[in-house]
Structure 1
């Protein structure tokens, strides 16, 4: 709720700006308060929606991790690699225990997602069918395990719960059984789905696997078939939006059909009605995402304006679309795709005219450049807030790519219609689109080679977003005032040539980028990431970044979905030092991903355990590091390193030690920042703890106030003697929920309790953040602190 109410500050600023602008233009004062009225009506609606979700969440809790039986109506069916995803509405869900259940214990769940693999028709029960025979509109009974959508537990992680909540989905079921109760299908919606499947098959058959996936995305919005390398290439160069269904598609399809009908003699009303029906059906065909719904609503308003003989206003139609979407679900407004879609429209309708008027809109290229710069400047905070990176040259690539994207859509439509008549004609129709796609790939690959192609700025904080909002408002008014002074011909002749003004627009774009340049970290921040069953600690001070371990055995794609997104979220493109305590996967799998696969994160120095030189996994890391140009250093007891004001000392093991196990190779690191002293122990065992105490003495570790608990809280570490010698004030245990090892063990927790140590657990609280200025230490947890809200 905190995040939702804080985002209301943004429409509040826009509302205040609209009031001032209306007053400045001398409009009727009765209209001046209208924006504020809608703002607070929206806030009330959002509050009411939040209360409804609080009730729904109680039902979700009761059904999570339970074998359930659900009855509902199919609204969507998607298949990928043999796995089906089915959405159900109007659901009655019963918790089951074996074959017995209380039939009165029924939950009314509006939205369900069911996933399971295909199964063949069973002879003994003719009502159980192959999933390929299902259709939209059928009423089915599903049995399976209920699961809540996963929450983000670290900065940068994708929050499935928030995303699907905005889409109106409450619960996910891993289906085991399916029974059709009513085989009646919705003739319209199921017919549209069959058309979609036919279109997909036609594209793949006539254009091949690679082009087919891109054509399908560009024409009907299904991105599942895009090759990963192409998707990543487009994403990193800032043209991935070209493959999303937008207003351009509605213009190509709706206006083209509308104009044909008008030339055939149909009146504005009938032609507009036919055009509206076409774009609505097309919107359903493409999945009717929020961005598609916006484009459909705006196109229908275009037809309505022609019928009524009124002037079409871009900002008014976009505002109506925004209101209608927010009535469906206020949470939709929090999605990055929705914000980018509307941000681009408001940039074209608001900021672009002001830029073009100032630069001289009648001059060549002024409108095109003004449009590109306006969209980039207005959507920049949205891009960084949700994606953390900025494709620096994306503005120039879009300048080239957007005008010819229409040809790709036309080419795709021609493949569908001509290919249905003659396959040879369909293949020929794909030619234009194919060569444009080849050009896109060529341009992206070459631009990607340029220096500073992708800038990692991280997620901007609330204060910087608010300041940027004031900057945009001031820029708009300055451009309007400056344009009004240039209307006099004599003054225009004395003014600088328009080409200088066009160049100044690009300078403005550069200034807006510098506005979000990451700031150095004040003090020391240590983030104990929730990596599941493993370890991963990220430390930042000033402009430096240190990573201590980064691996997991429970999260197979830790590097891709947790570690890399977290680093990008924090604005980190380079790790200065990465320490690997020992050669177990639960301490290095994510770091290996960064070295082997990640193009966006660079590790400058990797610090490996001196006693792990013969370990195969350590050797593999060393080889990967050398290939990436990373400096490899083997660390031993007694080695010291200073990073800005942070002192790092390796206490154990020494070069003469002979560890008996891989865990015994663990580096023990002491980190000192002012009065904050932390001890990182890897997976060291009780024997190693005893040896360390023998060398340092009990007083040698007495100043430690923060302990990263060894071996995820195993009872074979954190001995009573060791804990008494260290006597920490706080301890952090990193482990996976419901792990098979039983970590953390009861004995360890009792030892901590007996010593009065406050314990933080990643499996319960998500990532744990420590911040210190060298005098005071402050802890917060990602789950309890609303995602470290405003922490940057």
Structure 2
């Protein structure tokens, strides 16, 4: 067997991964203390600079009594997870110090919508279960970790040096690249790099270790320094560098592989990169098995595997000869070709994790990285030089930093141009497990039998695997009421047609960025055919406004926005109309009796407006909320926005006195789903209305512990009396109802 050690490491890691898949993420030991003000005892593990505070990470945490500030502490309960305390800048405890902190326990937010980032799972897997903000602290003894504290001070000093020799945005990027400090990194730059597939340059990785560690080691060897001394000096420096920069997964991987490399040289043994990679992964998993549940681990190790193993198998046996007598020119062409093939291999090999984590693929990332990666060496080199010079002479440091500025400007220019190109991003949605499995099975075939497979056929296999991975699997009708806190956001997705109803919240900020957009991309939705705005209250439109104010609208298109045709609605919705006009989106008005048949199958979606009547005049914005009956196949639902008792009464009158009732699907049989009006307020959902619609399920969209007391007890009593199945977003997160095989 070739590489038995690597095979053992891979087998062990896969067994641990399977075990974790069955066991699930770790439990949160702080759940029962959520919202309580308590005192905790812990040891300072690390610190990070934030925009307005310092984050202090405590490990070995236990509950103490309040006497700890004046006397000895009494440990009561030992927690297996640490806690993050946010303290004022320049007033945090020293590294390794034992401290008592007092503050309010705040749990991390868990994902309550499909596609939403699970912050709680992320921190639990990294060993931290909760946070404390605006807390007080006191040190219990004089013990500190002098090495960690000195490295922390060096990091802060070097960061200040970069800020003094570079412009603000450039300094933020270089601080992230060189020091792993993202506190000054502008969100728009971070987003721009991420959207174009070059966010990897913001992480400490093998390139840094190669330039600093390997460069130092080779320099010492050229100076005839003994191999053992060279290895110890360079290895120790890299371990200290990893500790100083936060010891991220990519940093640990790179440093571990570097230490294995110099150790092999010291022992006069050959260095095998795949084996070193596998051993590094095993050491990481042994230190924290839950790393296997985080995408960062897989992205880091699969990227290197894509170059060192998969890329080698793809290139193996390829005819690399070039015709012509221009040797220098041919070598340049060869290097460009090799870089392009390597880029394709890395992109393909990490694509399943990219699709599973971000639900979209930057199409031009391979071409962009052909320019970005070679220039990274120059950025890092001049960045380090400028940082060191800035410690003693800022003006000279500013001059040596000029190349960094122009290259970063070039990066931004390339990314902006790429974003404006057609198909710059492909929203693929979350791939199924079987798609990922087939993709990697095909990749493993290339790795195992690369020598026997012709080059053209290898690339055909890669293309086939990517197509299998990215193809969108069609599904039947699906209704999702997102958890947006105190607000409304509803998606109805059927084959060939997608419509949204509202999208706002009064309790959560940036809900398009963190909830609506991730959900749509998770579902593989890149176009909204009709976006209905029931009325222009902030808790129904804030996310839509946020989307319309974004230049590219997050890569998601809207075909039309539908507003209620009530008196004064155009003036009330002036902001939406203006933003829609700027984005080139048509705005239409719906009134009672207006309807649309849309879709691509015999079970087309039927949308019927029940309220308001054209020109409806009222002083209450809630009263002119659009009320829509939407049916698709066997499904029938009514969506009411913030419609009031007055609105419900008006609808019943219209059904009785006009032909509106005849346009409805089958009201006599009752409906499948009713979205309760006004978040379950007592101003809606009257007895007469509920007796008419007779819903089987009632969905209430409201925020947890909201200040309005929604849903009101009397509404819940009415629904329970009628035997309705009540589904609440504040209790269960997003509500998803699907139609499968003609049954709801």
8 A contact 2:347–2:366 mirrored in 1:
yes
Find 2:512's aligned residue among 537, 559, 580. Answer: 559
When normalised by structure 2's length, the TM-score is 0.91
Q: Is the 8 A contact 2:504 2:543 kept in 1?
A: yes
Work out which of the residue numbers 577, 586, 594 in structure 2 matches 1:622: 577
Superposed displacement of residue 541, structure 1? 0.8
Aligned to 1:80: 50
- Asked if 1:439 corresponds to 2:406, the answer is no
1:570 matches 2:523: yes
Match of 1:546 among 482, 499, 508: 499
Give the match for residue 331 of structure 2.
Answer: none
Match in the other structure for 2:240: 281
Aligned pairs for 1:95-106 (under 5 A) are 106=76
Match of 1:453 among 417, 424, 432: 424
Match for residue 422 of structure 1?
Answer: 393
Q: Aligned residue for 2:327?
A: none
Q: CA deviation at 1:182?
A: 2.5
User: Does residue 295 of structure 2 align to residue 340 of structure 1?
Assistant: no
User: Of 526, 537, 540, which residue of structure 2 is paired with 1:584?
Assistant: 537
Cα deviation 1:599-647 (Å, max 9, x = unaligned): 4122110001111644655111011111101110011110001121110
Query: Aligned partners of 2:146, 2:554: CA distance in 1, in Å?
Result: 48
- Measure the CA separation in 1 of the matches of 2:667 and 2:214: 78
Q: Conserved in 1, the CA contact under 8 Å of 2:673 and 2:696? A: yes
Residue 396 of structure 1 corresponds to 367
Change (3 A) 1:766 1:95: farther
Deviations 1:690-731 (A, max 9, x none): 221222249846431211111111112111121111111111
Runs (5+) with no aligned partner, structure 1? 1-21, 119-129, 484-500, 778-792
Structure 2: distance between partners of 1:113 and 1:141: 12
- Cα distance, 1:566–1:583 mapped onto 2, change above 3 Å: same
Change (3 A) 1:187 1:573: same
Change (3 A) 1:333 1:443: same
Look up the SS of the partner of 2:192 in the other structure: helix
Deviations 1:31-87 (A, max 9, x none): 999578625752587489869x44xx3x32222121110111212222323222111
What per-residue deviation string (whole Å, max 9, x for no partner) do you get for residues 250-297 of structure 1? Answer: 010101111121122222211111111011011011100111111110
Residues in 1 aligned to 2:189 and 2:476: alpha-carbon distance in whole angstroms: 41
Q: Identify the residue that residue 470 of structure 1 maps to in structure 2.
A: 441
Distance in 2 between residues matched to 1:505 and 1:253, nearest whole Å: 36
Kindly report which structure 2 residues correspond to 1:160-171, keeping only aligned pairs within 5 A, or say none: 160-171=119-130
1:14 aligned residue: none
Given the superposition, is the C-alpha separation of residues 320 and 605 from structure 1 closer, same or farther in structure 2, using an over 3 Å criterion?
Answer: same
The alignment status of 1:723 with 2:702, answered yes or no, reads no
Once residues 549 and 399 of structure 1 are traced to their aligned partners in structure 2, the CA distance between those partners, rounded to angstroms, is 42
- Distance in 2 between the 1:291 and 1:33 partners? 21
Structure 2 residue aligned with 1:373: 344
Residue 360 in structure 1 maps to residue 346 in structure 2: no
Among 84, 93, 102, the alignment partner of 2:63 is 93
CA contact (8 A) 1:613 1:619 kept: no
- Contact 1:607–1:632 (CA<8 Å) still a contact in 2? yes
Alpha-carbon offset, residue 662 of structure 1: 0.6
C-alpha displacement of 1:678: 0.5
1:104–1:428 distance in 2 versus 1, CA, 3 Å: closer
1:521 match: secondary structure: coil
Distance, in Å, in 1 between the alignment partners of 2:569 and 2:561 is 17
Report the secondary structure of 1:203's partner residue.
Answer: helix
Alpha-carbon deviation of 1:452?
0.9
**Are 1:254 and 2:209 matched, yes or no?**
no
User: Is the partner of 1:655 in helix, strand or coil?
Assistant: coil
Give the distance between the partners of 1:32 and 1:168, measured in 2 at CA: 27
Does structure 1 retain, via aligned residues, the 8 Å contact 2:616–2:624? Answer: no
Comparing 30-39 with 298-307, which one deviates more in the overlay? 30-39
Give yes or no for contact 1:67–1:96 (8 Å, CA) kept in 2. no
Segment drifting more, 596-605 vs 42-51: 42-51
Structure 1 residues 83, 266: CA separation in 2 closer, same or farther (over 3 Å shift)? same
Q: Distance in 2 between matches of 1:689 and 1:48?
A: 48
Equivalence for 1:42: 16
Quote how far apart the aligned CAs of 1:401 are. 1.4
How many angstroms does 1:535 deviate by? 0.8
CA RMSD in angstroms, aligned pairs only: 2.7
CA distance in 1 between counterparts of 2:402 and 2:197 reads 25
Distance in 1 (CA, whole Å) between partners of 2:441 and 2:689 is 55
TM-score by length of 1: 0.85
- Report 1:48-447 matches (<5 A): 53-54=26-27, 57=28, 59-94=29-64, 106-116=76-86, 118=88, 131-132=90-91, 134-361=93-320, 364-365=334-335, 366-447=337-418
Q: Deviations over 1:510-551 (max 9, x none)?
A: 555433344363321010101111111111111321101111
Q: CA 1:37–1:134 in 2, change beyond 3 Å: closer, same or farther? A: closer
**TM-fit CA distance, 1:416:** 2.4
Report the alpha carbon displacement of residue 421 of structure 1 after superposing the two structures with TM.
3.7
State whether structure 2 residue 480 is matched by structure 1 residue 527: yes
Please state whether the residue corresponding to 2:39 is helix, strand or coil.
strand
The SS at the match of 2:737 is strand
Moved more, 218-227 or 585-594: 218-227
Structure 2: tracts of 5 or more residues without a match: 323-333
Q: 1:31 to 1:454 in 2, by over 3 A?
A: closer
